[in-house]
């Protein structure tokens, strides 16, 4: 019999506070042990376990697989008492091969020979802390950061669980549970995690979005005095009725992009999207206000074209510091707007846009460097680099998989499995890097970085400005921009005569690519100032940049393939693996390596065809014409 008291925690800060407590209701609490649990819930195709009032959980452990059968019950004031049967198996095997015992008998009795299949998935970061009364162990206090995925959707929440252990009894449970009920941010929870996941699936089964038990909460927010919360609730209620995101936005007074943002946040945070600002971390308040400023535009700006909204809106009369704030604010909002989708991991484009936003902000810091205080901006630059690297580790693997699949699509059907081993290694590495990414986004370093960055952009401009120079210098965009553009152009033109066919070192192509990226980003930052003539220039620079990007992708892929053919696994620089001790037989990977090397050769040899689009006199004249119009 399992006896536990369950509580929903308002936020991660509530769990963090409980993680530091050394005593609870006079009981001692140890430091605890952290672990990550990955659970799969199994049932038959016709859901015989649900019909019998049970659920079956599979959990991977260091010693194999632990199987647990639990009774479906609703708790009384957050206290659940239910039957629980467990067994361990060395690996996944049919129930008939499980260890003899009550669990096997019960599962076979319910399944009646029908195969088991997964239908719900759960992950949680758990801090398990033992509770003592002197030398007597009485309970385990678990602090859980939970993510449940089902039907292509995910939701995240926080829980605290107190389970009787050892010599613990009902008196201990009553005292400890009363202390937890008195803790700020904890609410008794009568449902098991499985039940909450199941409600999410059933809510989506008929096309609806909101679980019936939550609907009254959304309706209350829709009619409340908090305008922001009311808009979010109105949008979600409209989506629940079957309206499109555009229609939901019209009803709620939000853009369709803003509706997508809050839908993604709701799928992760549930009702947490309605938390009042004083219940949020400062970074979350700043993030929301920044996103809202750009995406949730005031009514008078509603007539702007979609193309216009894709730019920071810099004016010729702006000072360079003002232009810097507009640019950084715009791209920080864009980064934060795609954070929820990146966490969900359902659409790789979300991560791509978030990563590009960090790159653009780094480039903006370079463009505006002379007008910003370097000491003040140094932590921002470090945070952007760290965030960009973490996002890039996943994005690069996405690109690798996409291009590899594109190659496989060109092969005859009998060779469709040529790269199964390589792609399996890539997927394993991506999963590892994605876990690291989510941990980073959940961690304090990222939150501190966002908070400090937002505070800087919301503060006085003179806090961002560097020391005034001894001699006067131009401050307005219209005065400074011509020099900035010609400086960026000079970086690209410096490669004239430095690239000569297959003899050219590959890093030189990559350096030129970075120079093109710098010129393109500057043109895009100031597109409102430069006018319509900037768009053809951006297109030409992007064409050369894409050519060089394809070359760099081929270079990186060739390196990965050489490593795979040598070690038979994924490998990164700085490894400490021993030299190969056995022959790796992977003819499909060898053929793919040959194809990518041929592509490298083709791109190098055709470079002279695209170089004149930027290095020729036509681009120079067009750039000069655009600058003259400032």
Which contacts qualify for 268-272: CB closer than 8 Å, 24 or more apart? 268/147, 268/154, 268/155, 268/156, 268/340, 268/343, 268/344, 269/155, 269/156, 269/157, 270/155, 270/156, 270/157, 270/214, 271/214, 271/217, 272/10, 272/11, 272/157
Distance between CA atoms of residues 196 and 189, nearest Å: 10
Task: Give the angle 151-154-157 at the CA atoms, nearest 5°.
Answer: 140
Residue corresponding to tokens 């904890």 = 186
Residue corresponding to tokens 């210098």 = 473
Q: For residue 153, what are the β-bridge partners?
A: 150
* Alpha-carbon torsion, ordered 386, 13, 136, 4, to 10 deg: -110
Q: Dump pLDDT digits (tens) for 531-580.
A: 999 999 999 999 999 999 999 999 999 988 988 888 777 765 545 555 55
Highest mean pLDDT of the ranges 205-214, 305-314, 416-425: 416-425
For the entire predicted model, the pTM comes to 0.54
Residue 306 has pLDDT above 70, yes or no: no
Distance between CA atoms of residues 542 and 547, nearest Å: 9
E strands, 92-135, in order: 117-133
Structural tokens at position 368? 């505006």
Whole-number pLDDT of residue 486: 93
Overall size of the chain counted in residues: 630
Burial class (CB in 10 A: 0-12, 13-18, 19+), 160: buried
DSSP string of 453-508, one letter each residue? HHHHHHS-GGGTB-PPPSS----BHHHHHHHHHHHHHHHHHTTTTT--GGGS-HHH
Residue corresponding to tokens 């993510």 = 147
- Pick the closest to residue 328 from 360, 283, 375 (CA basis): 360
Q: For residue 61, what are the β-bridge partners?
A: 64
Please report which confidence band the pLDDT of residue 324 belongs to, taking 50, 70 and 90 as the band edges: very high
Please report which confidence band the pLDDT of residue 50 belongs to, taking 50, 70 and 90 as the band edges: confident
SS3 113: coil
* Alpha-carbon torsion, ordered 178, 183, 188, 193, to 10 deg: -120
Q: Dump pLDDT digits (tens) for 126-145.
A: 999 999 999 899 999 999 99
Please report which confidence band the pLDDT of residue 82 belongs to, taking 50, 70 and 90 as the band edges: confident
Distance between CA atoms of residues 361 and 330, nearest Å: 9
Please report which confidence band the pLDDT of residue 206 belongs to, taking 50, 70 and 90 as the band edges: very low
Whole-number pLDDT of residue 511: 94
Please report which confidence band the pLDDT of residue 278 belongs to, taking 50, 70 and 90 as the band edges: very low
Give me the helix-helix angle, 587-605 and 420-442, nearest 10°.
70
| Contact indicator for 99, 65 with CB cutoff of 8 Å | no
| CA distances to 3, 512, 539, 556 from 397, in Å | 44, 23, 27, 11
Average pLDDT over residues 39-50: 85
Whole-number pLDDT of residue 478: 93
Q: Dump pLDDT digits (tens) for 372-402.
A: 999 999 999 999 999 999 999 999 999 999 9
Q: Backbone phi, then psi, for 229, in 5-degree steps?
A: -65, -40
SS3 145: strand
- 501: alpha, beta or left? (left if phi > 0; alpha if psi -120 to 50): left
Structural domains for the chain: 2-190 (2.40.320.10), 298-473 (1.40.20.10), 477-628 (1.40.20.10)
SS3 588: helix
Cα four-point dihedral sign 370, 371, 375, 377 = negative
Q: Dump pLDDT digits (tens) for 411-466.
A: 998 998 999 988 998 999 999 999 999 999 988 889 889 888 988 887 788 788 86
């Amino acid at each position: 019999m399992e006896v536990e008291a369950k509580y929903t925690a308002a936020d991660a800060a509530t769990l963090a506070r409980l993680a530091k407590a050394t005593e609870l209701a006079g009981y001692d609490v140890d430091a605890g042990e952290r672990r990550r649990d990955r659970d799969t819930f199994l049932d038959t195709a016709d859901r015989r376990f649900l019909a019998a009032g049970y659920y079956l959980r599979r959990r991977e452990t260091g010693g194999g697989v632990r199987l647990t059968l639990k009774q479906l019950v609703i708790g009384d004031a957050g206290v659940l008492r239910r039957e629980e049967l467990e067994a361990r198996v060395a690996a996944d095997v049919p129930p008939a091969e499980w260890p003899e015992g009550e669990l096997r008998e019960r599962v076979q009795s319910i399944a009646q020979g029908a195969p088991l299949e997964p239908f719900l998935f759960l992950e949680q970061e758990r801090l398990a802390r033992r509770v003592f009364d002197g030398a007597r162990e009485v309970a385990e206090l678990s602090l859980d950061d939970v993510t449940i995925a089902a039907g292509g959707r995910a939701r995240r929440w926080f829980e605290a669980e107190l389970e009787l252990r050892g010599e613990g009894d009902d008196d201990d449970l009553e005292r400890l549970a009363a202390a937890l009920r008195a803790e700020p941010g904890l609410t008794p929870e009568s449902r098991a995690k499985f039940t909450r996941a199941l409600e999410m699936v059933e809510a989506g089964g008929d096309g609806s979005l909101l679980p019936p038990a939550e609907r009254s909460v959304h309706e209350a927010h829709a009619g409340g005095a908090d305008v922001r919360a009311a808009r979010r609730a109105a949008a979600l209620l409209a989506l629940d009725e079957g309206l499109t995101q555009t229609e939901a936005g019209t009803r709620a007074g939000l853009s369709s992009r803003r509706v997508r943002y809050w839908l993604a946040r709701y799928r992760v945070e549930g009702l947490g999207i309605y938390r009042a600002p004083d219940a949020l971390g400062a970074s979350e308040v700043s993030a929301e206000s920044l996103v809202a400023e750009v995406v949730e535009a005031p009514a008078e700006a509603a007539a702007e074209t979609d193309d216009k909204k894709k730019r920071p809106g810099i004016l010729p009369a702006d000072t360079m510091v003002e232009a810097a704030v507009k640019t950084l604010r715009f791209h920080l909002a864009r980064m934060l707007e795609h954070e929820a989708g990146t966490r969900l991991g359902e659409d790789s484009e979300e991560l791509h846009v978030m990563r590009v936003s960090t790159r653009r902000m780094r480039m903006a810091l370079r463009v505006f460097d002379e007008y910003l205080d370097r000491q003040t901006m140094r932590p921002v630059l470090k945070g952007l680099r760290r965030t960009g690297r973490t996002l890039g580790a996943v994005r690069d693997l996405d690109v690798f998989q996409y291009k590899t699949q594109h190659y496989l699509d060109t092969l005859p059907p009998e060779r469709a499995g040529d790269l199964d081993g390589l792609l399996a290694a890539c997927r394993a590495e991506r999963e590892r890097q994605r876990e690291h990414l989510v941990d980073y986004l959940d961690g304090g370093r990222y939150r501190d970085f966002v908070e400090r960055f937002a505070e800087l952009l919301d503060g006085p401009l003179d806090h961002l400005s560097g020391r005034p120079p001894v001699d006067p210098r131009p401050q307005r965009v219209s005065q400074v921009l011509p020099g900035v553009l010609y400086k960026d152009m000079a970086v690209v033109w410096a490669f004239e005569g430095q690239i000569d066919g297959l003899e050219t070192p590959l890093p030189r192509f990559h350096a030129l690519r970075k120079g093109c990226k710098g010129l393109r980003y500057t043109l895009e930052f100031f597109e409102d100032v430069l006018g319509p003539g900037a768009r053809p220039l951006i297109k030409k620079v992007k064409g050369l940049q894409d050519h060089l990007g394809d070359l760099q992708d081929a270079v990186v892929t060739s390196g990965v393939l050489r490593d795979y053919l040598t070690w038979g696994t994924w490998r990164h620089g700085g490894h400490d693996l021993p030299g190969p001790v056995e022959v790796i037989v992977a003819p499909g990977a060898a053929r793919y390596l040959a194809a990518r090397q041929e592509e490298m050769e083709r791109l190098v040899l055709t470079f002279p065809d695209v170089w004149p689009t930027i290095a020729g006199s036509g681009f120079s004249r067009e750039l000069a014409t655009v600058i003259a119009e400032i």
